Homo-oligomer: A and B are copies of this chain.
Amino acid sequence: MKAAFQGELGAFSQDAIRQLLGSKAQPVPYPQFDEVFDALAHGDVNVAVAPIENTLHGSVHKNYDLMLKHDFIITAETNVRIVHNLIAPPGTRFSQIRKVYSHEVALNQCLEFFRRHKSVENVPFYDTAGSVKMVMRDRPPGAAAIASELAAKIYGGEILRREIEDDRRNYTRFFLLERKGAKPRKPQGSDRKLWKTSLVFSTRNVPGALFRALSALALRDLNLTKLESRPLRGRPWEYMFYLDLIGRQDDAVVRNALGHLGEVADFLRVLGTYRAA
């Protein structure tokens, strides 16, 4: 089982792959999200894993765009807590550290650490796991990296400080994507009773259009876990909506609601139905 993901080995997406598929799946890294989706389309991999939203940074529009471009389905979801660790070659003492490499976003999530340690400079790098790889390979004097525990393990780094992120409520939600016809999968620890269905739709921007669209769900007592508007550039006053609801696509009530929503929406695409993480 080959699973495509964006980034270097040791990226948080690899934690997502473990949570979704167990340790037997083989993670296959690609530099860009487009390449991850292409790999699944061409059959180079069996599944793809893509981050879809983060509690601090919001939705990853890029991956919604790629889901709409391709014809895959979501077969599972999982949430990965983003824990940042200070990682250096084994034997390094903390007092020797002068430069800390990591992805800009990770560095910005550890501001309190850098405020407390003024002698330590932060240096943006293209990737969190990639910064561990570089520090272990090139051994720049006084260098450390910020990345996941998994990255430390993969590249043989030692964790000098654990959980140095400012905010512990930092989670990224990932989708498992497969080619059409695939069955939903059960990740470890998921609540088997609760299901979600994810969809994207658009309405014409007439007053109450969204309200009418949502009435298709509300009048059937369906509950939402996500609703987000996204402006369509070049088409002023028109919007796409990302929506997640609680329920299985093949439940009669959900099927009816989607039929009703299809009548009032300009465009509707169901992205998948899967067990809630």
Residues of A within 8 A of B (CB): 32, 55-62, 103-105, 111, 122, 124-126, 169, 171, 205-208, 210-212, 214-215, 217-218, 221-231, 233-234, 237, 241
Q: Give the 6 A-B CB pairs with smallest separation, nearest first.
A: A211-B218, A169-B233, A124-B124, A58-B58, A104-B104, A208-B218
- Contact partner of A207 (CB less than 8 A), chosen from B58, B208, B222, is B222
| B231 and A228 contacting across the interface, CB-CB below 8 Å | no
CB contacts (< 8 Å) of A61 on chain B: these are 55-58
Q: Which residue of B lies closest to A170 (CB)?
A: B233
- Interface centre among A126, A211, A237, by most B CB within 10 Å? A211
Measured CB to CB, the closest approach of chain B to A104, in angstroms, equals 4
Task: Tell me the complex Cα distance, A224–B211, Å.
Answer: 10
Interchain Cβ contacts under 8 Å between A and B, 27 examples: A55-B61, A57-B57, A57-B61, A58-B58, A58-B60, A58-B61, A58-B230, A104-B126, A124-B125, A124-B126, A169-B233, A206-B223, A207-B218, A207-B222, A208-B221, A208-B223, A210-B214, A210-B224, A210-B227, A211-B218, A212-B218, A224-B229, A225-B229, A225-B237, A226-B231, A227-B228, A228-B229
| B218 and A32 contacting across the interface, CB-CB below 8 Å | no
CB contacts (< 8 Å) of A62 on chain B: these are 56
Task: Tell me the complex Cα distance, A61–B109, Å.
Answer: 13
| A221 and B233 contacting across the interface, CB-CB below 8 Å | no
Measured CB to CB, the closest approach of chain B to A100, in angstroms, equals 13
CB contacts (< 8 Å) of A205 on chain B: these are 223
Q: What would 13 more interface pairs be, CB under 8 Å, given A104-B105, A210-B224, A227-B241?
A: A56-B62, A57-B58, A58-B60, A103-B124, A122-B126, A169-B233, A169-B234, A207-B221, A207-B222, A211-B211, A211-B214, A211-B215, A226-B229
Measured CB to CB, the closest approach of chain B to A191, in angstroms, equals 11
CB contacts (< 8 Å) of A226 on chain B: these are 229, 231
| B59 and A58 contacting across the interface, CB-CB below 8 Å | yes
